[in-house]
Amino acid sequence: QRGGKFPETFQKSLEYLVRPNDKDAKMKYQECNKIVKQKAFERAIASDELKRSVVDSLDIENMTIEDDYAGPKLEDGNVTLKFMKDLMAWFKDQNKLHRKCAYQTEEITICGDTHGQYYDLLNIFELNGLPSITNPYLFNGDFVDRGSFSVEVILTLFGFKLLYPEHFHLLRGNHETDNMNQMYGFEGEVKAKYTAQMFQLFSEVFQWLPLTQCINNKVLVMHGGLFSEDGVTLDDIRKIDRNRQPPDSGPMCDLLWSDPQPQDGRSISKRGVSCQFGPDVTERFLEQNKLQYIVRSHEVKAEGYEVTHSGKCITVFSAPNYCDQMGNKGAYIHLRGSDLKPEFHQFTAVPHPDVKPMAYANSLMQMGMM
Is 92 or 170 the better-scoring residue by pLDDT? 170
70 within some domain: no
Nearest to 254, CA basis, from 202, 289, 218, 296: 296
139 φ/ψ angles, rounded to the nearest 5 degrees? -100, 125
In a domain, 76, yes or no: no
- In sequence order, which residues have a C-beta less than 8 Å from that of residue 353 and are 6 or more positions away? 119
Q: Is 122 exposed, middle or buried (0-12, 13-18, 19+ CB in 10 A)?
A: middle
44 and 125 in a single domain? The answer is no
238: number of Cβ within 10 Å: 11
Check whether residue 169 and residue 264 sit in a common domain.
yes
CA separation for the pair 174, 143 (Å, rounded): 10
Claim to verify: residue 170 and residue 28 sit in the same structural domain: no
Domain match, 45 and 88 both: no
pLDDT computed for residue 44 by the predictor? 53
Does 58 map to a domain? no
Classify residue 57: in a domain, yes or no.
Answer: no
Among 34-38, 71-75, 145-149, 348-352, which stretch is predicted with the lowest mean pLDDT?
Answer: 34-38
**Beta strand 293-296 with 313-316: parallel, antiparallel or unpaired?**
parallel
Q: Is residue 67 part of a domain?
A: no
- Of 116-120, 326-330, 335-339, which gets the smallest average pLDDT? 335-339
pLDDT 10s digits, 267-298: 999 999 999 999 999 999 999 999 999 999 99
Domain membership of residue 15 as a residue range: 5-49
Give 323's DSSP letter.
G
pLDDT at residue 367, rounded to an integer: 46
Average pLDDT over residues 303-329: 98
Q: Please pick, among 98, 115, 169, 175, the residue that the annotation labels catalytic.
A: 175
- Give the Cα separation of 232 and 226 in Å (integer): 9
* Number of folded domains that form the chain: 2
Per-residue pLDDT tens over the stretch 18-76: 566 666 766 766 676 676 666 665 555 444 444 444 555 567 667 888 888 888 887 76
- As a whole number of angstroms, the distance between CA 114 and CA 213 comes to 18
> What is the pLDDT averaged over residues 82-107?
77
Mean pLDDT, residues 241-263 taken together: 97
Q: Is residue 73 part of a domain?
A: no
Q: Tell me, what's the pLDDT at 368? A: 46
**What are the CB-based long-range contacts (under 8 Å, 24+) for 302-308?**
302/327, 302/328, 302/329, 303/328, 303/329, 303/331, 303/346, 304/328, 304/329, 304/330, 304/331, 304/344, 304/346, 304/347, 305/112, 305/331, 305/333, 305/344, 305/346, 308/260, 308/262, 308/279
SS3 call for 3: coil
> What pTM was estimated for this model as a whole?
0.74
Q: Do 314 and 267 belong together in one domain?
A: yes
**Same domain, yes or no: 19 and 146:** no
Contact 274, 249 (CB under 8 A): yes
User: Is 334 found in the same domain as 267?
Assistant: yes
Given a contact cutoff of 8 angstroms between Cβ atoms, the answer to whether 105 and 80 are in contact is: no
Examine the domain organization and report whether 87 and 143 are in the same domain.
Answer: yes
Non-local (6+) Cβ contacts of 215 within 8 A are 108, 221, 335, 340
- Tell me what pLDDT residue 351 has: 97
Using the predicted structure, report yes or no on whether residue 192 has a pLDDT greater than 90. Answer: yes
Residue 47 or residue 100, greater confidence: 100
Q: Is 116 in contact with 184 (CB distance < 8 Å)? A: no
Clarify whether residues 17 and 102 are in a common domain.
no
pLDDT given for residue 186 in this prediction:
97
The whole-angstrom separation of Cα 258 and Cα 20 is 68
The C-alpha atoms of residue 292 and residue 218 are separated, in whole angstroms, by 5
Q: Is residue 45 part of a domain?
A: yes
Lowest mean pLDDT among 7-21, 163-177, 207-221: 7-21
Domain identity same for 32 and 167: no
Q: Per-residue pLDDT averaged across 164-187, rounded?
A: 96
Residues 36 and 180 in one domain: no
Is-catalytic flag, 352? no
The CATH code of the domain that includes 269 is 3.60.21.10
- Is residue 114 included in any domain, yes or no? yes
pLDDT band with cut points at 50, 70 and 90 for residue 78: low
The percentage of the chain sitting over the pLDDT mark of 90, rounded to a whole number, equals 65
What mean pLDDT value characterizes the chain?
87
45 and 87, same domain (yes or no):
no
Q: How far apart are CA 335 and CA 200, in angstroms?
A: 35
